[in-house]
Amino acid sequence: MITKEDRIFITGGSGFIGTNLIDLFMKKGYDFINLDKAEPIKKDQISYWVKGNIVNMADLESVFSKYHPTLVIHLAARTDTLSTDIKDYSENTQGSKNIIDIVKKYSCVRHLIMTSTQYVYKSLTIPFPSKDDEYIPHTTYGLSKKIMEEDTRHSNLQCAWTIVRPANVWGPWHMRYPNELWKVLDKGFYVHPTKQPAVRTYAYVKNLTHQIDGIINADLNIVNEQTYYLGDLPIDSRLWLEEWVKQLKGSKLHYIPTWIMRGVAIWGDVLGTLGIKFPIYSIRFNNMMEDWYDTTNKTIDLFGVRNENLSDNVKETIEWLKGEGVSFFPYWKKKYGKN
């Protein structure tokens, strides 16, 4: 249970998840500080920010020596999948090792939360790992997080530690989806290749931050040396997409026969070899077709969600697009008439 004596140190709090987590912590009146190399997006969060990089041990030492945190929530990471060179993910490997080392040095820390990803395990034949430390990493990003998890498990930490694996996170302050998927849906350009279910695990960001808050308030005997997938219960991806189209456009999701979409994807592959970008290619097509879901039921049983209603959560995100978020995105600014 968080008390008035607790001091929470967050890394990467200026990012998508961190922005929402800090919103929650501000409402709860927690004592916290955010170390990030980037300034917070929200101006009311700047007073909690310290500029620094987790790859630089001196930056961590500076904060720990002054602040003496009792809880550490490690969010900072490179999260894209663009590179195949593990060296490009030094924030996830060396940076995370630095977090572990500084926590081991300071006995004031009683609980460490290490943020991983669902990408540490992906198998088309065996959908779930049989144990927490079974890995089939997907992409180099997933490999970097596997390394982070193994470092955590083998570090002989004296404090309690918990690993969390966010699912496919969405919601307010996501700075990529408004320019990509949600924009494509709003323009009516998106077509779905099948009505066959493709089950996915989504994580509405405010449900995810609710779960993190539950973990840091839980009995340490329950959460110590545990791994939790963060997110909502798995659903057919069509339901998620259909809800977005309904609320954005008041219309229905468009479908196309699978064989046509597959042919378009092959054509996209050909264009790709010529250096021409095309929105559909075989990897993306296969991702649209396949199941990929996580065992979030364990997390939800213990910590619940803020709101399980998909319609409410989409509505809340669109209200953010119309309000606080609108000035960041020219397309939505034009649509909603903000000058």
Q: What secondary structure, in 3-state letters, does 79-132 show? A: CCCCCCCHHHHHHHHHHHHHHHHHHHHCCCCCEEEEECCHHHECCCCCCCCCCC
- What pLDDT digit, counting tens, does each position of 75-114 carry? 999 999 989 999 999 999 999 999 999 999 999 999 999 9
Q: What is the pLDDT of residue 316?
A: 99
Beta strand ranges found along 136-274 (DSSP E): 160-166, 168-170, 191-192, 199-200, 202-204, 226-230, 235-236, 254-255
pLDDT digits (tens, 9 = 90+) for 118-172: 999 999 888 889 999 999 999 999 999 999 999 999 999 999 999 999 999 999 9
Those residues with Cβ within 8 angstroms of residue 192's Cβ, 6 or more apart along the chain or in another chain: 238, 241, 253, 254, 255, 256, 288
Superfamily of structural domain 8-166: NAD(P)-binding Rossmann-like Domain (3.40.50.720)
How high is the pLDDT of residue 91? 97
35 compared with 123, residue with greater pLDDT: 35
At 202, the pLDDT band (50, 70, 90 cuts) reads very high
Give residues with Cβ within 8 angstroms of 299, minimum separation 6: 211, 228, 229, 230, 231
pLDDT band at residue 286 under the 50/70/90 scheme: confident
> How high is the pLDDT of residue 108?
98
Burial class of residue 241 in the structure, from the number of CB atoms within 10 Å of its CB (0-12 exposed, 13-18 middle, 19+ buried):
middle
Nearest CA-CA partner of 55 in 80, 74, 28? 74
70/65 Cα distance (integer angstroms): 12
**Res. 339 pLDDT band, cuts 50 70 90:** low
* Cα–Cα distance measured from residue 68 to residue 73, given in angstroms and rounded to the nearest whole number: 14
Compute the distance between CA of residue 257 and CA of residue 323 in angstroms, rounded to an integer: 37
pLDDT at 296: 96
Domain residue extents for the chain: 8-166
Q: Which residues have CB under 8 Å from 110's CB, separation 6+?
A: 70, 71, 159, 160, 220
**Residue with structure tokens 């008041």?**
250
Mean pLDDT over 176-181 rounds to: 95
Q: What is the pTM of this model?
A: 0.94
The pLDDT score that the predictor gives to residue 338 is 60
What is the overall mean pLDDT for the chain?
A: 95
